[in-house]
Amino acid sequence: MRKVANFCDFFVLSTGSSSRQVRAIADGIQEKLKDLGIKVRFKQGYKEGRWVLVDLGNVVAHVFDQETREFYGLDYLWQEAKKVKWEDPSLPKDTGK
């Protein structure tokens, strides 16, 4: 993101299927970060559960419901940013078999 925006290095975009799931994803992010000793600087939108923003400083996580993600179109708005594929090392690798 740094080449297209001066406020962070990475955006993480994710989608939940309901406000309850959006909040659960945001909670999961925050719990994992706490385990790693990383403090959340700012969190917004949790009560409504349509778009929860979790600001870590250099990384900003956006957790949307489908309708809100489509409406705001951050994928399109920031399309010039380099996409980085992330794989969870704790999950089994897909062998393609």
Instruction: Please check whether residue 23 lies inside any domain of the structure.
Output: yes
Q: What is the average per-residue pLDDT within 15-39? A: 93
Tell me: the pLDDT tens digits for 73-94? 887 767 776 677 777 777 677 6
Instruction: Please check whether residue 50 lies inside any domain of the structure.
Output: yes
Question: Distance between CA atoms of 5 and 83, rounded to whole angstroms?
Answer: 14
Pure H helices in the chain: 19-35, 66-72, 74-77
Residue 89 per-residue DSSP state: T
- Least Cα distance to 53 among 40, 65, 64, 44 occurs for 44
Domain that holds residue 58: 10-77
Q: Is the pLDDT of residue 53 over 70?
A: yes
Residue 33: give its domain's CATH number. 3.30.460.10
Residue 10 pLDDT class (50, 70, 90 cuts)? confident
Share of the chain above pLDDT 70, in %: 81
Instruction: Please check whether residue 41 lies inside any domain of the structure.
Output: yes
- Number of domains comprising the chain: 1
Residue 60 per-residue DSSP state: E
Q: What is the average per-residue pLDDT within 4-10? A: 65
Share of the chain above pLDDT 90, in %: 47
- Least Cα distance to 26 among 46, 12, 11 occurs for 46
